[in-house]
Amino acid sequence: MAHNQNKPNSSVARSNNRYILMGLLTLCGAQLGQAAEIKIGVSLSIPPYVIQETNSGLELELLNQALAVKGHTASIHYLPLARTFHELREGKLDGIINIKDGMIDNVFYSNVAITYQNCAISLEANHFTINNINDLNNKQVVSFQRASSLLGEEFARMAKANSGYQEQARQVQQVYMLMKHRADVVVMDKNIFKYYLKQAYLEGKLTEKDSTQQAICHQIFPPTEYKFAFLSEQIRDDFNAGLKQITQDGSLVALQEKYRRLMSFENEAEVSNKLTEPKIIKNDSY
């Protein structure tokens, strides 16, 4: 009887020992400076930063280039946000992107890897004065999902009091609503806006007249800086070293230019003399 009772415990012990051994082997390889395949958890497709359909995007290419400096490669695992946290804690992932200090314990945070800039975006033709969050009161405002819980207490109060406030899970819908005059203001990252604006035009969901309206990015929100988190201190250090190198040697600037052109209407403007490039311009007070 005692022998049978010990079987499950032995099985669990063997399983735990196997995970521990795998972790030690990975850690030893990292400590010795050996090249490794790094399993990275990514929770959302956020073009142009993460484009899941093509396994590309500014952030993913930045990640790959920085890790490659020390010979590492990244294996991307698309999972719900909560699951990325769980699997990192379990050691099934080696790292995750888009993290702020303190969001998860017992990990090593990188230097700032990417910066998002949320804006209140309006059409210039409407001549809105938007210098702070209070200026969004009594306007038809469309934000990204969970913005009311992510953009601070003042924004949350505005969202609760404003009967014209809504959130959209699909950010391309925000672009449609602004350019089709179904919303006064959309709140989103300016690069995400530019990406979806061009895609909507190319897919025929916005006309040339719609797409070439001038938009204004009212920077009433501070930039949002994100880090990456790794289980291994050595891999974190390797990533930081790679990030520093690609910043200094111009690779990062070239990558940013690549995605700037991806979001630009320059090529389309060359084909059509009538199409001028839409631009997001900043409020004059910034």
The answer on 235 and 216 residing in a single domain is no
Domain annotation covers residue 46: yes
The answer on 258 and 232 residing in a single domain is yes
Give residue 8's pLDDT: 42
Domain annotation covers residue 181: yes
Domain annotation covers residue 272: no
Residue 247: Cβ within 10 Å count: 14
Domain annotation covers residue 285: no
The structure tokens 């600037």 sit at: 253
**Short-list 88, 75, 76, 89, CA closest to 42:** 76
Distance CA 168, CA 187 (A): 10
What is the domain extent for residue 241? Answer: 37-116+224-263
The answer on 107 and 199 residing in a single domain is no
Domain annotation covers residue 268: no
Q: Consecutive 10-residue runs of the chain (286 residues): their mean pLDDT?
A: 43 43 46 80 94 96 98 97 95 97 96 97 96 97 96 98 97 96 97 94 92 93 97 98 98 96 74 48 43
Name the pTM for this structure.
0.83
Domain annotation covers residue 5: no
The answer on 124 and 218 residing in a single domain is yes
Domain count, the chain: 2
Non-local CB neighbours of 75 within 8 Å, separated by 6+ positions: 37, 38, 39, 40
